[in-house]
Amino acid sequence: MTGFAGARGAIEGWDWVWDLRAVNGRGLDLRLRLPDWVEGLEAGVRRALQGRIARGSVTLSLRLTRRAGVATARLDPEALAAAVAALAEVEAAAEAAGVTLQHSTGAEVLALRGVMEAGGDDAAPPELVKALLDDLPGLLDAFQAMRRTEGAALARVLTAQLDQIAALTAEAAGLAEARRDEVAETLRTNLARVLDNSSGADPDRVAQELALLAVKADVTEEIDRLTAHVAAARALLSAPGPVGRKLDFLTQEFLREANTLCSKSGSAPLTRVGLDLKAVIDQMREQVQNVE
């Protein structure tokens, strides 16, 4: 099912824009356009999307920018602790030797190698990753809300198509019933013609063959299955959760019955109804590809 949602966010020093789009697809195809230097982001994004979206070709893009003039260096707590411990050890040793040292200033400590890490494209702060992932539930809520709105409209389209299929199936049933006596009379006439012009033919065998032809011309089973498929499709449309795959399979079954109906019709009016059925079912099958 198609859908779109966007979101903006920011923390100190960073701004970002999310863009989430989806079009119909048979399965779930995720295409992520994320900064590869933000470590740990892609795995979290995939989990979030897979937990909320079951079907479709989904593209998620993130545009991340660092504000101008914001310091990009960050403190390394482990390096700081090691540096402070080393300074304390030096000062203690100097005091024991009777040497007086000046206490180090904070700026001097920060200037020690490794205490401050220079930021860059390969150093995303952990709070940035957390803020980005925290943004996803709201983005997905907006995305699903749009898909629900479209889904309601799509359900109305599919329901109207099912109404057409049900009406055509009922028309086919009426035509099949109306031609039942005609088919029986035609078979009796053919049987009499064959027996009159076939010396030595086994009447029982001829009757069996004609009965087999009558069975092959009977479309009662196809009409019954079409009726059952309509009921099943209506139940799926009102069911919670993803039903796209089941509906897709059901439209294939609809088309199979319509094809068989056309091949067994034996009359122009019934063939016309079968062709109309195939046209509506094809239209329905295209719409079903948009259902999750």
Alpha helices in 58-116 (DSSP H): 77-96, 106-111
CB 50 within 8 A of CB 103: no
Closest by CA position to 113, among listed 90, 134, 86 = 86
pLDDT digits (tens, 9 = 90+) for 209-263: 555 555 556 788 889 999 999 999 999 998 887 788 899 999 999 999 999 988 8
The kind and range of the H/E element at 70 are none
Domain coverage including residue 138 = 3-70+125-145
Residues 256 and 281 in one domain: yes
Residue 182 has pLDDT above 60, yes or no: yes
For the beta carbon of residue 178, count every other beta carbon within 10 angstroms.
12
Co-location of 182 and 282 in the same domain:
yes
Count of residues making up the chain: 292
CATH number at 231 reads 1.20.140
CB 273, CB 165: distance < 8 Å: no
CA–CA separation, 260 and 169 (whole Å): 13
Give me the CATH number covering residue 7. 3.30.230
- Both 23 and 136 in a single domain? yes
Percent of the chain predicted with pLDDT > 70: 78
Please state the pTM of the whole predicted model.
Answer: 0.58
Q: 18 with 64, same domain?
A: yes
**What domain count does the chain have?**
3
Segment 103-121 shows an average pLDDT of 64
Distance, in Å, from the CA atom of 213 to the CA atom of 219, rounded to the nearest integer, reads 12
Same domain, 283 and 154: yes
